[in-house]
Homo-oligomer: A and B are copies of this chain.
Protein backbone atom coordinates (compact mmCIF):
# COMPACT_ATOMS: atom_id res chain seq x y z
CA UNK A 1 0.00 0.00 0.00
CA UNK A 2 1.31 3.45 -0.90
CA UNK A 3 2.37 5.55 2.04
CA UNK A 4 -0.26 7.77 3.66
CA UNK A 5 -0.32 9.03 7.23
CA UNK A 6 -3.07 7.32 9.19
CA UNK A 7 -5.20 9.10 11.75
CA UNK A 8 -8.16 8.30 13.98
CA UNK A 9 -10.59 8.71 11.12
CA UNK A 10 -8.76 6.49 8.63
CA UNK A 11 -7.55 3.77 11.02
CA UNK A 12 -10.86 1.80 11.26
CA UNK A 13 -11.09 1.25 7.52
CA UNK A 14 -7.39 0.39 7.31
CA UNK A 15 -7.69 -2.22 10.06
CA UNK A 16 -10.86 -3.68 8.58
CA UNK A 17 -8.87 -4.82 5.57
CA UNK A 18 -6.38 -6.82 7.65
CA UNK A 19 -7.58 -10.39 8.34
CA UNK A 20 -5.33 -11.06 11.34
CA UNK A 21 -6.36 -7.81 12.98
CA UNK A 22 -10.01 -8.58 12.35
CA UNK A 23 -9.42 -11.89 14.10
CA UNK A 24 -8.35 -10.00 17.21
CA UNK A 25 -10.78 -7.08 17.14
CA UNK A 26 -13.72 -8.71 15.43
CA UNK A 27 -15.49 -6.91 12.63
CA UNK A 28 -18.15 -4.26 12.42
CA UNK A 29 -18.09 -2.84 15.92
CA UNK A 30 -16.99 0.72 16.51
CA UNK A 31 -13.46 1.21 17.81
CA UNK A 32 -12.06 3.39 20.60
CA UNK A 33 -8.80 4.86 19.37
CA UNK A 34 -6.41 6.55 21.74
CA UNK A 35 -3.20 8.16 20.64
CA UNK A 36 -0.60 7.30 23.24
CA UNK A 37 2.61 8.26 21.44
CA UNK A 38 5.95 6.88 22.44
CA UNK A 39 7.00 10.43 22.95
CA UNK A 40 9.37 11.34 20.25
CA UNK A 41 9.49 9.58 16.99
CA UNK A 42 6.30 7.86 15.93
CA UNK A 43 2.55 7.88 16.14
CA UNK A 44 1.28 5.12 18.42
CA UNK A 45 -2.38 4.28 18.93
CA UNK A 46 -4.19 1.92 21.29
CA UNK A 47 -7.26 0.61 19.55
CA UNK A 48 -10.06 -1.21 21.41
CA UNK A 49 -13.37 -2.62 20.38
CA UNK A 50 -15.89 -0.28 21.99
CA UNK A 51 -18.24 -3.03 23.10
CA UNK A 52 -15.43 -5.30 24.28
CA UNK A 53 -12.41 -3.26 25.42
CA UNK A 54 -10.29 -6.30 26.24
CA UNK A 55 -10.04 -6.91 22.48
CA UNK A 56 -7.32 -4.48 21.50
CA UNK A 57 -4.26 -3.88 19.37
CA UNK A 58 -1.48 -1.31 19.14
CA UNK A 59 -0.77 0.46 15.86
CA UNK A 60 2.56 2.21 15.35
CA UNK A 61 3.36 4.36 12.32
CA UNK A 62 6.48 6.30 11.47
CA UNK A 63 6.21 9.67 9.74
CA UNK A 64 9.01 11.13 7.63
CA UNK A 65 9.88 13.68 10.29
CA UNK A 66 10.53 13.81 14.00
CA UNK A 67 7.05 13.62 15.47
CA UNK A 68 7.79 15.74 18.52
CA UNK A 69 9.46 18.47 16.46
CA UNK A 70 7.12 18.51 13.49
CA UNK A 71 7.50 18.39 9.74
CA UNK A 72 10.40 20.84 9.72
CA UNK A 73 12.63 18.20 11.29
CA UNK A 74 12.89 15.47 8.64
CA UNK A 75 13.85 11.96 9.71
CA UNK A 76 13.59 9.04 7.35
CA UNK A 77 10.75 6.69 8.16
CA UNK A 78 13.10 3.84 7.22
CA UNK A 79 13.43 3.29 10.94
CA UNK A 80 10.09 1.50 10.88
CA UNK A 81 11.37 -0.83 8.15
CA UNK A 82 14.06 -2.06 10.51
CA UNK A 83 11.70 -2.27 13.47
CA UNK A 84 9.37 -4.42 11.35
CA UNK A 85 12.20 -6.67 10.18
CA UNK A 86 13.65 -7.05 13.66
CA UNK A 87 10.27 -7.76 15.23
CA UNK A 88 9.61 -10.37 12.54
CA UNK A 89 12.96 -11.98 13.22
CA UNK A 90 12.37 -11.89 16.97
CA UNK A 91 8.92 -13.42 16.52
CA UNK A 92 10.75 -16.40 15.00
CA UNK A 93 13.58 -16.45 17.52
CA UNK A 94 11.94 -15.52 20.84
CA UNK A 95 8.17 -15.30 20.36
CA UNK A 96 7.55 -15.34 24.12
CA UNK A 97 9.49 -12.13 24.69
CA UNK A 98 8.19 -9.83 21.95
CA UNK A 99 4.73 -8.62 20.93
CA UNK A 100 2.95 -10.78 18.38
CA UNK A 101 2.63 -9.07 14.98
CA UNK A 102 -0.85 -8.83 13.51
CA UNK A 103 0.20 -6.81 10.50
CA UNK A 104 3.24 -5.07 9.10
CA UNK A 105 3.75 -2.94 6.02
CA UNK A 106 7.15 -1.48 5.18
CA UNK A 107 5.65 0.77 2.50
CA UNK A 108 3.20 2.25 4.98
CA UNK A 109 5.75 2.20 7.83
CA UNK A 110 3.08 0.53 9.93
CA UNK A 111 3.13 -2.17 12.58
CA UNK A 112 -0.01 -3.56 14.20
CA UNK A 113 0.79 -5.71 17.20
CA UNK A 114 -0.27 -7.12 20.52
CA UNK A 115 -1.34 -4.54 23.08
CA UNK A 116 0.78 -4.92 26.21
CA UNK A 117 -1.88 -3.53 28.46
CA UNK A 118 -1.07 -5.55 31.52
CA UNK A 119 2.59 -4.60 31.52
CA UNK A 120 4.44 -1.49 32.59
CA UNK A 121 7.59 0.13 31.26
CA UNK A 122 10.31 -1.38 33.41
CA UNK A 123 12.31 1.81 33.86
CA UNK A 124 9.44 3.70 35.49
CA UNK A 125 8.56 0.73 37.68
CA UNK A 126 12.11 0.24 38.78
CA UNK A 127 12.44 3.88 39.76
CA UNK A 128 9.44 3.23 42.01
CA UNK A 129 11.07 0.14 43.48
CA UNK A 130 8.92 -2.55 41.85
CA UNK A 131 10.46 -6.02 41.68
CA UNK A 132 9.98 -8.30 38.70
CA UNK A 133 10.81 -11.80 39.90
CA UNK A 134 12.01 -13.27 36.60
CA UNK A 135 13.41 -10.26 34.86
CA UNK A 136 17.11 -11.18 34.91
CA UNK A 137 16.30 -14.67 33.73
CA UNK A 138 14.02 -13.39 30.97
CA UNK A 139 16.48 -10.83 29.68
CA UNK A 140 19.27 -13.41 29.76
CA UNK A 141 17.17 -15.84 27.77
CA UNK A 142 16.18 -13.17 25.26
CA UNK A 143 19.83 -12.22 24.79
CA UNK A 144 21.07 -15.79 24.42
CA UNK A 145 18.40 -16.82 21.96
CA UNK A 146 18.65 -13.75 19.77
CA UNK A 147 22.44 -13.53 19.81
CA UNK A 148 23.28 -17.21 19.49
CA UNK A 149 20.73 -17.99 16.83
CA UNK A 150 21.81 -15.12 14.56
CA UNK A 151 25.54 -15.68 15.08
CA UNK A 152 27.94 -17.66 12.92
CA UNK A 153 27.62 -20.40 15.56
CA UNK A 154 23.87 -20.67 15.12
CA UNK A 155 23.37 -20.22 11.37
CA UNK A 156 24.84 -21.33 8.10
CA UNK A 157 27.00 -18.79 6.31
CA UNK A 158 24.75 -18.13 3.34
CA UNK A 159 21.43 -17.78 5.17
CA UNK A 160 23.22 -15.56 7.67
CA UNK A 161 24.41 -13.16 4.96
CA UNK A 162 20.86 -12.89 3.72
CA UNK A 163 19.57 -12.01 7.18
CA UNK A 164 22.39 -9.52 7.65
CA UNK A 165 21.55 -7.97 4.32
CA UNK A 166 18.15 -6.93 5.70
CA UNK A 167 19.80 -4.66 8.24
CA UNK A 168 22.97 -3.26 6.65
CA UNK A 169 21.25 -0.06 5.60
CA UNK A 170 19.87 0.88 9.01
CA UNK A 171 22.33 3.68 8.56
CA UNK A 172 20.82 6.70 10.25
CA UNK A 173 20.14 4.96 13.53
CA UNK A 174 23.55 3.29 13.58
CA UNK A 175 25.08 6.71 13.11
CA UNK A 176 23.04 8.10 15.99
CA UNK A 177 24.53 5.42 18.25
CA UNK A 178 28.05 6.02 16.97
CA UNK A 179 27.72 9.73 17.69
CA UNK A 180 25.70 9.78 20.88
CA UNK A 181 27.04 6.66 22.63
CA UNK A 182 30.63 6.44 21.46
CA UNK A 183 31.69 9.96 20.57
CA UNK A 184 30.07 13.16 21.85
CA UNK A 185 29.86 12.25 25.56
CA UNK A 186 33.63 11.78 25.66
CA UNK A 187 34.51 15.21 24.30
CA UNK A 188 33.27 18.75 24.64
CA UNK A 189 30.16 18.88 22.49
CA UNK A 190 27.11 21.11 22.32
CA UNK A 191 24.74 18.18 22.38
CA UNK A 192 25.92 17.02 25.81
CA UNK A 193 23.99 17.38 29.02
CA UNK A 194 25.47 20.02 31.22
CA UNK A 195 25.89 19.97 34.96
CA UNK A 196 28.92 21.92 36.16
CA UNK A 197 30.07 19.54 38.91
CA UNK A 198 29.68 16.45 36.72
CA UNK A 199 31.28 18.21 33.77
CA UNK A 200 34.23 19.15 35.89
CA UNK A 201 34.67 15.53 36.98
CA UNK A 202 34.44 14.31 33.39
CA UNK A 203 36.94 16.86 32.22
CA UNK A 204 39.43 16.11 34.99
CA UNK A 205 39.09 12.33 35.03
CA UNK A 206 37.79 10.94 31.75
CA UNK A 207 38.24 13.28 28.84
CA UNK A 208 41.93 13.71 29.56
CA UNK A 209 42.59 10.02 30.20
CA UNK A 210 44.22 8.56 27.11
CA UNK A 211 43.68 4.94 28.10
CA UNK A 212 40.03 5.59 28.83
CA UNK A 213 39.42 7.27 25.50
CA UNK A 214 41.31 4.65 23.51
CA UNK A 215 39.21 2.08 25.38
CA UNK A 216 36.05 3.83 24.19
CA UNK A 217 37.42 3.76 20.64
CA UNK A 218 38.05 0.03 20.90
CA UNK A 219 34.35 -0.47 21.53
CA UNK A 220 33.33 2.07 18.92
CA UNK A 221 35.40 0.08 16.44
CA UNK A 222 33.57 -3.11 17.41
CA UNK A 223 30.23 -1.34 17.03
CA UNK A 224 31.20 -0.07 13.58
CA UNK A 225 32.80 -3.21 12.20
CA UNK A 226 31.90 -6.40 14.10
CA UNK A 227 28.84 -8.28 12.88
CA UNK A 228 28.57 -11.01 15.50
CA UNK A 229 24.79 -11.17 15.67
CA UNK A 230 21.49 -9.36 15.21
CA UNK A 231 21.29 -6.77 17.98
CA UNK A 232 18.31 -4.96 19.42
CA UNK A 233 20.84 -2.14 19.76
CA UNK A 234 18.73 -0.03 22.11
CA UNK A 235 18.14 -2.48 24.93
CA UNK A 236 17.63 -0.40 28.05
CA UNK A 237 15.00 -0.66 30.77
CA UNK A 238 12.73 1.70 28.82
CA UNK A 239 12.61 -0.88 26.01
CA UNK A 240 11.19 -3.50 28.40
CA UNK A 241 7.58 -3.95 29.42
CA UNK A 242 6.92 -6.42 32.20
CA UNK A 243 4.73 -7.62 35.01
CA UNK A 244 5.39 -10.26 37.62
CA UNK A 245 4.86 -13.05 35.09
CA UNK A 246 6.14 -11.82 31.76
CA UNK A 247 8.83 -9.67 30.18
CA UNK A 248 8.48 -8.13 26.74
CA UNK A 249 11.12 -6.41 24.64
CA UNK A 250 9.92 -3.57 22.42
CA UNK A 251 11.19 -0.70 20.26
CA UNK A 252 13.80 -2.47 18.14
CA UNK A 253 14.18 0.15 15.40
CA UNK A 254 17.94 0.37 15.99
CA UNK A 255 18.41 -3.32 15.11
CA UNK A 256 21.46 -4.28 13.04
CA UNK A 257 24.29 -6.82 13.04
CA UNK A 258 26.79 -5.77 15.66
CA UNK A 259 29.06 -7.08 18.42
CA UNK A 260 27.82 -9.66 20.96
CA UNK A 261 28.55 -7.58 24.04
CA UNK A 262 26.61 -4.47 23.11
CA UNK A 263 23.06 -5.43 24.12
CA UNK A 264 24.34 -7.27 27.19
CA UNK A 265 26.53 -4.44 28.42
CA UNK A 266 23.88 -1.83 27.80
CA UNK A 267 21.09 -3.52 29.70
CA UNK A 268 23.37 -4.34 32.64
CA UNK A 269 24.50 -0.70 32.69
CA UNK A 270 20.86 0.35 32.99
CA UNK A 271 20.39 -1.92 36.01
CA UNK A 272 23.51 -0.47 37.59
CA UNK A 273 22.42 3.12 36.99
CA UNK A 274 19.10 2.26 38.58
CA UNK A 275 21.04 0.79 41.51
CA UNK A 276 22.91 4.04 41.88
CA UNK A 277 19.71 6.06 41.63
CA UNK A 278 18.29 4.19 44.61
CA UNK A 279 20.78 5.87 46.90
CA UNK A 280 18.25 8.60 46.33
CA UNK A 281 14.97 6.79 45.65
CA UNK A 282 15.09 4.14 48.42
CA UNK A 283 15.23 4.37 52.17
CA UNK A 284 17.45 1.29 52.50
CA UNK A 285 19.49 -1.02 50.32
CA UNK A 286 16.96 -3.85 49.89
CA UNK A 287 15.92 -2.78 46.39
CA UNK A 288 19.55 -2.24 45.43
CA UNK A 289 20.35 -5.81 46.50
CA UNK A 290 17.57 -7.09 44.32
CA UNK A 291 18.78 -5.02 41.37
CA UNK A 292 22.32 -6.30 41.72
CA UNK A 293 21.12 -9.91 41.92
CA UNK A 294 19.03 -9.50 38.79
CA UNK A 295 21.83 -7.73 36.91
CA UNK A 296 24.05 -10.73 37.69
CA UNK A 297 21.24 -13.09 36.71
CA UNK A 298 21.14 -11.52 33.27
CA UNK A 299 24.66 -12.72 32.57
CA UNK A 300 24.31 -16.03 34.41
CA UNK A 301 21.23 -16.98 32.47
CA UNK A 302 22.64 -15.62 29.20
CA UNK A 303 25.78 -17.70 29.54
CA UNK A 304 24.00 -20.90 30.56
CA UNK A 305 21.42 -20.60 27.81
CA UNK A 306 23.95 -19.63 25.12
CA UNK A 307 26.05 -22.70 25.95
CA UNK A 308 22.92 -24.85 26.03
CA UNK A 309 21.90 -23.68 22.56
CA UNK A 310 25.44 -24.28 21.34
CA UNK A 311 25.33 -27.83 22.68
CA UNK A 312 22.15 -28.55 20.73
CA UNK A 313 23.42 -26.94 17.52
CA UNK A 314 24.54 -28.96 14.51
CA UNK A 315 26.95 -27.54 11.97
CA UNK A 316 27.17 -23.80 11.51
CA UNK A 317 29.11 -21.22 9.53
CA UNK A 318 31.78 -21.38 12.23
CA UNK A 319 32.01 -25.06 13.14
CA UNK A 320 31.69 -28.26 11.17
CA UNK A 321 31.69 -31.85 12.43
CA UNK A 322 35.17 -33.18 12.93
CA UNK A 323 36.97 -29.87 13.13
CA UNK A 324 37.43 -29.88 16.90
CA UNK A 325 37.65 -32.73 19.38
CA UNK A 326 35.33 -32.63 22.40
CA UNK A 327 38.11 -31.28 24.60
CA UNK A 328 39.01 -28.63 22.08
CA UNK A 329 35.39 -27.60 21.72
CA UNK A 330 35.13 -27.31 25.48
CA UNK A 331 38.16 -25.02 25.57
CA UNK A 332 36.86 -23.01 22.61
CA UNK A 333 33.51 -22.42 24.31
CA UNK A 334 35.24 -21.27 27.47
CA UNK A 335 37.30 -18.70 25.60
CA UNK A 336 34.39 -17.63 23.43
CA UNK A 337 32.19 -16.89 26.44
CA UNK A 338 35.02 -15.11 28.23
CA UNK A 339 35.50 -12.87 25.24
CA UNK A 340 31.79 -11.97 25.16
CA UNK A 341 31.98 -11.28 28.90
CA UNK A 342 34.93 -8.92 28.59
CA UNK A 343 33.30 -7.06 25.73
CA UNK A 344 30.05 -6.79 27.66
CA UNK A 345 31.88 -5.11 30.54
CA UNK A 346 33.46 -2.67 28.12
CA UNK A 347 30.16 -1.77 26.49
CA UNK A 348 28.64 -1.45 29.96
CA UNK A 349 31.32 1.11 30.79
CA UNK A 350 30.56 3.08 27.60
CA UNK A 351 26.87 3.09 28.38
CA UNK A 352 27.31 4.26 31.99
CA UNK A 353 29.24 7.31 30.84
CA UNK A 354 27.18 8.25 27.85
CA UNK A 355 23.92 8.12 29.81
CA UNK A 356 25.54 10.44 32.32
CA UNK A 357 27.28 12.92 30.05
CA UNK A 358 25.37 12.70 26.80
CA UNK A 359 22.08 14.14 25.62
CA UNK A 360 20.04 11.08 26.62
CA UNK A 361 20.14 10.56 30.36
CA UNK A 362 18.27 7.93 32.34
CA UNK A 363 15.16 9.22 34.09
CA UNK A 364 16.30 7.27 37.16
CA UNK A 365 18.90 9.95 37.76
CA UNK A 366 18.38 12.83 35.39
CA UNK A 367 14.88 13.51 36.66
CA UNK A 368 16.16 14.14 40.19
CA UNK A 369 15.71 17.86 40.72
CA UNK A 370 18.27 18.40 43.45
CA UNK A 371 21.35 19.21 41.40
CA UNK A 372 23.84 18.43 44.11
CA UNK A 373 22.44 14.99 44.84
CA UNK A 374 22.11 14.31 41.14
CA UNK A 375 25.75 15.24 40.58
CA UNK A 376 26.87 12.79 43.24
CA UNK A 377 25.01 9.97 41.54
CA UNK A 378 26.34 10.99 38.15
CA UNK A 379 29.88 10.90 39.46
CA UNK A 380 29.26 7.38 40.78
CA UNK A 381 28.30 6.35 37.21
CA UNK A 382 31.46 7.91 35.85
CA UNK A 383 33.69 6.32 38.48
CA UNK A 384 32.15 2.96 37.71
CA UNK A 385 32.57 3.50 33.98
CA UNK A 386 36.23 4.23 34.50
CA UNK A 387 36.70 1.20 36.73
CA UNK A 388 35.01 -1.20 34.34
CA UNK A 389 36.69 0.09 31.21
CA UNK A 390 40.13 -0.18 32.79
CA UNK A 391 39.43 -3.67 34.17
CA UNK A 392 37.22 -5.17 31.49
CA UNK A 393 39.86 -7.71 30.46
CA UNK A 394 40.80 -8.66 34.02
CA UNK A 395 37.37 -9.50 35.36
CA UNK A 396 36.88 -13.07 34.16
CA UNK A 397 33.80 -14.38 35.97
CA UNK A 398 30.42 -13.10 36.99
CA UNK A 399 31.44 -13.69 40.63
CA UNK A 400 34.45 -11.43 40.18
CA UNK A 401 32.21 -8.85 38.55
CA UNK A 402 29.78 -9.01 41.45
CA UNK A 403 32.49 -8.64 44.06
CA UNK A 404 34.07 -5.80 42.07
CA UNK A 405 30.72 -4.02 42.15
CA UNK A 406 30.21 -4.74 45.84
CA UNK A 407 33.62 -3.33 46.68
CA UNK A 408 32.95 -0.32 44.50
CA UNK A 409 29.60 0.41 46.11
CA UNK A 410 31.02 -0.16 49.59
CA UNK A 411 33.46 2.64 48.96
CA UNK A 412 30.61 4.76 47.68
CA UNK A 413 28.67 4.12 50.85
CA UNK A 414 31.59 5.01 53.04
CA UNK A 415 32.46 8.13 51.17
CA UNK A 416 30.86 11.50 51.17
CA UNK A 417 28.84 10.31 48.24
CA UNK A 418 26.32 8.66 50.51
CA UNK A 419 23.14 10.62 50.28
CA UNK A 420 21.05 11.59 53.21
CA UNK A 421 17.40 11.26 52.55
A171→B186 contact, CB < 8 A = no
> A225 is contacted by which of B175, B227, B328 (Cβ under 8 Å)?
B227
Contacts of A327 in B (CB 8 A): 210
B152→A335 contact, CB < 8 A = no
Contacts of A221 in B (CB 8 A): 152, 318
A171 and B318 CA atoms in complex are apart in Å by 14
Contacts of A165 in B (CB 8 A): 165, 168-169
- A217 interfacial contact with B, CB 8 Å: yes
Instruction: Knowing A161-B169, A178-B317, say if A152 contacts B225 (CB, 8 Å).
Output: yes
- A81 interfacial contact with B, CB 8 Å: no
A341 and B65 CA atoms in complex are apart in Å by 45
B318→A224 contact, CB < 8 A = yes
- A300 interfacial contact with B, CB 8 Å: no
8 Å CB interface, A295-339 against B: 317-318, 320, 322-324, 327-328, 331-332, 335
Contacts of A152 in B (CB 8 A): 221, 224-225
- A89 interfacial contact with B, CB 8 Å: no
B214→A317 contact, CB < 8 A = no
A19 and B111 CA atoms in complex are apart in Å by 48
Assign chain A's interface to a size class.
35 or more
Contacts of A55 in B (CB 8 A): none
- A114 interfacial contact with B, CB 8 Å: no
B158→A162 contact, CB < 8 A = no
B174→A161 contact, CB < 8 A = yes
Contacts of A189 in B (CB 8 A): 322
**Distance between A171 CB and nearest chain B CB, rounded to angstroms:** 4
Residues of A with Cβ closer than 8 Å to B? 152, 157-158, 161-162, 164-165, 168-172, 174-175, 178, 183, 186-189, 210, 213-214, 217, 220-221, 224-228, 317-318, 320, 322-324, 327-328, 331-332, 335
Per CB-CB distance, the 8 closest pairs between chain A and chain B, nearest first, are A161-B171, A158-B171, A165-B168, A152-B224, A157-B175, A225-B227, A210-B328, A187-B323
Interface pairs (19), CB distance under 8 Å: A152-B221, A157-B174, A157-B224, A158-B171, A162-B169, A162-B171, A165-B165, A168-B168, A178-B317, A183-B323, A187-B322, A189-B322, A210-B327, A210-B328, A213-B324, A213-B328, A217-B332, A220-B318, A226-B226
